[in-house]
Amino acid sequence: MNAAYGGEARRVSLEHPVVSIVIPCLNEVRTLPSVVEKCLQALKMLDVPGEILVADNGSADGSQELARSLGARVVSIAVRGYGAALKHGCDAALGKYLVIGDADDSYDFREAVPMVRKLQDGYDFCTGTRIKGRIEPGAMPWKNRHIGTPALTLALNTIFASRFSDVNCGMRALTKDAFTRMHLESKGMEFASEMLVKAAVLRLRTTELPVTLRKDGRGREPHLRPWRDGWRHLKFMLLFAPTFVYWVPGVTMLTVGLVMASLLLSTPGGVPFHIGSARINDHWIVPAALLLVIGYQTIVTGVLVHIYTIIHRVYHRSAFIEKLMNALTIERILALAVILILSGGLLEASVVNAWIGGDFGPLNAIRPAVLGMALILMGTQTMFSGFFYAVLIERYRFA
């Protein structure tokens, strides 16, 4: 059956494929026969022209020749890594619908048939879920099943308001158009999270179906490194989460600093005020100013990072940025910078005036002096960040 059906599938798929099954491969000669056989059966069940594409990542065990003999098309991927193999493999795929899954025989590609049906019904992306499906004994380490996967799934759903139940499932299906829109770039295992992050950011129509995870048939250590790869997954999520990384902490720090500075400035120097049993005096202007500066710069950085991300990494037109562009022009930003610098300068001038009025004697004006310095610093940051913002916005308009 392999030779007959596999040869026919390969011949048809190279002309007018509808489904491309993309399999990343690195020394998988032991499991390829079983995997390809299930792929062929899946294509037969779908009853559409298809291809099996093995994205080989430099195998040295004859996997390439074996895959070709089984009826698969082999694409050699020079860049190493799970994500690199899948990205370039999907780039080379000819089908309208893409199915991805591992070459270690831990997933049964026949379970991808209902996933493709979902795509045919209008969904852009369908991921498998082992959590709602079945995990055979010994198929997943305890720490991955009960710590890593739940923690990363919770993080992704919290940050991106998604509803996935298993961020690490290796079997997925998506349209070629959705793949193109995602502009995927990760080379390692975090590729799995990147797909879900960008599916959420781009507001793709997504769904998930239960699948079974089996103990892989390779008889050797897996390529996955749980702690290293887990951190890479989380790090990638944070790179696309300006609200959690920048704006929430930035607004919090700025608000606390502003309240503290306002209370201190409204009270004469050397005279404390109380919050409960806490006695707040002159030296508290230093942490207040520090929170003002750090909080403000964190918010500004978050805006710049968000604009850069949607221009250079997601290529997504954002309603938030459209409103921001209309409200914030370089002229208004420079005006704000001037206001901040002048305000800080006036506070510093009041300190100098008080010193002169006191005949250059002892001076208790640490509060306006420190706050004035903070405002001047914030104004300077605003000015230079404004020019960078203008560059990004121009690139956004012509993207």
Q: What's the confidence (pLDDT) of residue 227?
A: 66
3-state secondary structure of 306: helix
226/282 same-domain check: no
285-335 per-position pLDDT tens digit = 999 999 999 999 999 999 888 888 877 777 666 677 778 777 888 899 999
**Domain holding 73: CATH number?**
3.90.550.10
The last residue of a domain, from among 238, 259, 277: 238
Total structural domains within the chain: 2
150/117 same-domain check: yes
Query: What range defines the domain where residue 191 resides?
Result: 2-238
Q: What's the confidence (pLDDT) of residue 224?
A: 56
Phi then psi for 267, rounded to 5 degrees? -110, 135
Query: Taking residues 115-144, what's their average pLDDT?
Result: 93
Q: What's the confidence (pLDDT) of residue 135?
A: 93
193/208 same-domain check: yes
263/174 same-domain check: no
6-52 per-position pLDDT tens digit = 444 443 444 589 999 999 999 999 999 999 999 999 999 999 999 99
Q: What's the confidence (pLDDT) of residue 324?
A: 74
Residue 282 DSSP symbol:
G
Q: How large a percentage of the chain has pLDDT more than 90?
A: 58
325 close to 396: Cβ distance less than 8 angstroms? yes
Residue 101's CB is within 10 A of a number of other CB atoms, namely 29
Tokens of 328: 């914030």
205/336 same-domain check: no
Alpha-carbon distance 3 to 1, whole Å?
Answer: 6
Mean pLDDT for the chain overall: 87
Residue with the two structure tokens 């995997």:
35
Among the ranges given (70-79, 101-110, 237-246), the one the predictor scored with the smallest mean pLDDT? 237-246
Closest CA to 50 of 85, 21, 74: 21
284/375 same-domain check: yes
The last residue of a domain, from among 211, 238, 265: 238
Q: What's the confidence (pLDDT) of residue 54?
A: 97
Q: What's the confidence (pLDDT) of residue 101?
A: 96
Tokens of 74: 């082999």
140/278 same-domain check: no
172/282 same-domain check: no
With a CB cutoff of 8 Å and minimum separation 6, the contacts of 295 are 249, 250, 251, 252, 253, 254, 255, 256, 257
3-state secondary structure of 29: coil
The last residue of a domain, from among 204, 238, 272: 238
Structure pTM? 0.77
123/225 same-domain check: yes
Query: Does 284 or 380 have the greater pLDDT score?
Result: 380
Run of H or E residues at 211? strand 206-213
151/224 same-domain check: yes
Run of H or E residues at 347? helix 330-357
256/166 same-domain check: no
Query: Taking residues 178-190, what's their average pLDDT?
Result: 90
φ/ψ bin of 79: left (φ > 0), alpha (ψ from -120 to 50), beta (otherwise) = beta
246/207 same-domain check: no
- Give the pairing of strands 73-76 and 50-56: parallel
Alpha-carbon distance 234 to 341, whole Å?
Answer: 39
Query: Does 217 or 215 have the greater pLDDT score?
Result: 215
